[in-house]
Structure 1
Amino acid sequence: MENKQKIAVVTGGSRGLGKNMAFSLAQKGNDVIITYVNSKTEAEALVKEIEAIGRKAYALQLDLNNFKSLDGFISSLSSTLKEKFKTDKFDFLINNAGMGKTIPFEQVTEEIFDEFLNVHYKSVYFLTQKSIAHMNEGGRIINLSSGTTRFANPGYSVYASMKGAIETLTKYFAKELGAKGITANVVAPGPIETDFNNAAIRSNPQMKGFLATLSPLGRVGQADDIGGVVAFLCSEDAKWINGQRIEVSGGINV
């Protein structure tokens, strides 16, 4: 099946950063498949928003903490591409899905560690591996990391160390998938005012104010500070960017 229309898969695309990424990609002329864990209503609402601007969209359920569900998801993705998009391959994989907790190092349990390991590293590793056979040559992989791999934020030892692993893994994606014309890059946001980590920034004005003082621009980030960067990295203008970590943090702790 020939695929002329570019298709992006955005994990965790129903809310927050992922929602803005998906919509930004659609605004740039791409069709979009988003995944959600529990937010089916929000996901379906975003699908309608994307369809309203003339692009195709579809939502699939995916829980990265349930590692054994990956094969079933890939099967659903393949069926969706054929039935809804009339093709057998997609172009862009945006590994955005994640969860957050602020936990002091000495209080981290094995259960919490394993959940972060599944969601932020193991499932990203193998979802990407299983997706390659369904990606077009010349595709793009965008992995989401965090400013906290560059500067330490107490309570983020698990989250940031997994993201550090993702940053190393991205270089290997770039190196080993280059023969297929597939590039791989990291986008690393700084503090963003969304519902991530139980809306830690949005619901805590004192924290928000403090974080704003760390940026030369005097504010924390918003979702629309990130989505356009991801869409750019999936554009022809970014075809020669590969194996890079691009921090989108307003220059925090510069």
Structure 2
Amino acid sequence: MKNKIALVTGGSRGLGKDMAIRLANHGHDLIITYNSNKESAEEVVNQIKNIGQKGTALQYDSADFKSLDHFIKQVKETLNSFFETSTFDFMVNNAGVGATIPFEQATENDFDRFMNIHFKSVYFLTQQLLPIINNNGRIINLSSGSTRVGVPGYSIYASMKGAIETFTKYLAKDVGKKGITANVVAPGPIETDFNNAAIRNSPERKVMIASQAALGRVGQANDIGGVVAFLCSEDAKWISGQRIEVSGGMVL
């Protein structure tokens, strides 16, 4: 029996890297994407291969909506040439960027960029790849704890993630007939290079955030990947249309 294949966008670093490694540890093959850092992506691919799974990386800029058709073509060609198949099993829409943009200073360009990356590209990439996702597959969309708890400067980002959460509920209804589940994973504050490493670079902010979590610390990238791997397992086959916040009990 062939290994199942996962596509993880933004899989070259941070949360996406941990998701890819965890999925490989669960016996799955990987296609990961990167935006600009090919070297980091190749390092992740090497880790996947060292685990004993097949892996490859494709360049994808989710901010450039016009590049979507080319990327979809690349995915199909890669499935055919590298994995000798025409379908895959798990789609993890993780690619994203962060920025603290006060509402009064937000521009139309800011809005359009975040919309393309966090919502529009996710919506249409999922639509276009759905025909080649196997029955009983999984779709996981990444959201954020900022849709539940207001974070200053996150009005654009959180609005797009709120759209993702609504979209995922509708998606779950539409794909359920194929036995495919669709869920949201919503990380809380994570100490990565996200948003210019805002947490990592500010010890005072890190202490403040940790004090708001039931578990008394900020999140790490390896707190998230295991949840994604679980949702891609048979044990999670009856979970669909749900928002799962992974925040250590933030602001309860």
Tell me, yes or no, whether TM beats 0.5.
yes
The corresponding residue for 1:178 is: 176
Q: What per-residue deviation string (whole Å, max 9, x for no partner) do you get for residues 166-219 of structure 1?
A: 000000110011111111000000000000000000011111110000001110
1:147-174: per-residue Cα shift (whole Å, max 9, x none)?
A: 0111101100000010000000000110
Provide the rounded CA distance (Å) in 1 between the counterparts of 2:103 and 2:22.
36
What TM-score does the superposition give when structure 2 sets the normalisation length?
0.99
CA distance in 1, matches of 2:249, 2:214: 6
Residue 164 (structure 2) aligns with: 166
Between the aligned residues of both structures, percent identity stands at 66
Give the gaps of 5 or more residues in structure 2. none
2:44 alignment counterpart: 46
Distance 2:101 2:207 in 1: 21
Per the alignment, residue 134 of structure 1 pairs with 132
Distance 1:19 1:221 in 2: 15
Q: Give, in angstroms, the shift of residue 134 of structure 1.
A: 1.5
What displacement does 1:80 show?
Answer: 0.5
Q: Supply the distance in 1 between the matched residues of 2:121 and 2:186 (Cα, whole angstroms).
A: 19
What's the secondary structure of 1:9's corresponding residue?
A: strand
In structure 2, the partner of 1:219 is 217
Shift of 1:44: 0.5
Q: What letter is aligned with 1:84?
A: F
> Is residue 78 of structure 1 aligned with residue 76 of structure 2?
yes
Query: Per-residue deviation at 1:133?
Result: 1.4
**Cα distance in 2 between the residues matched to 1:214 and 1:195:** 21
Unaligned runs of 5+ in 1: none
Tell me if 1:188 matches 2:186. Answer: yes
Question: Counterpart in 2 of 1:97?
Answer: 95
**Structure 2 CA distance for aligned equivalents of residues 39 and 30 of structure 1:** 23
1:39 deviates by 1.1
Q: Please list the CA deviations of residues 125-161 of structure 1 after superposition, one character each: whole Å capped at 9, or x if unmatched.
A: 0000011112111110000000011110110000001
* 1:212-234 Cα distance to aligned partner (Å, 9 max, x none): 00001110000000000000000
1:150 maps onto 2:156 in alignment: no
Match of 1:55 in 2: 53
C-alpha displacement at 1:5, in angstroms? 1.5
- Partner Cα distance (1:18, 1:52) in 2: 18
Aligned pair count reads 252
Q: Give the aligned CA root-mean-square deviation in angstroms.
A: 0.7
TM-score, normalised to structure 1, is 0.98
* C-alpha distance in structure 2 between counterparts of 1:5 and 1:86, whole Å: 11
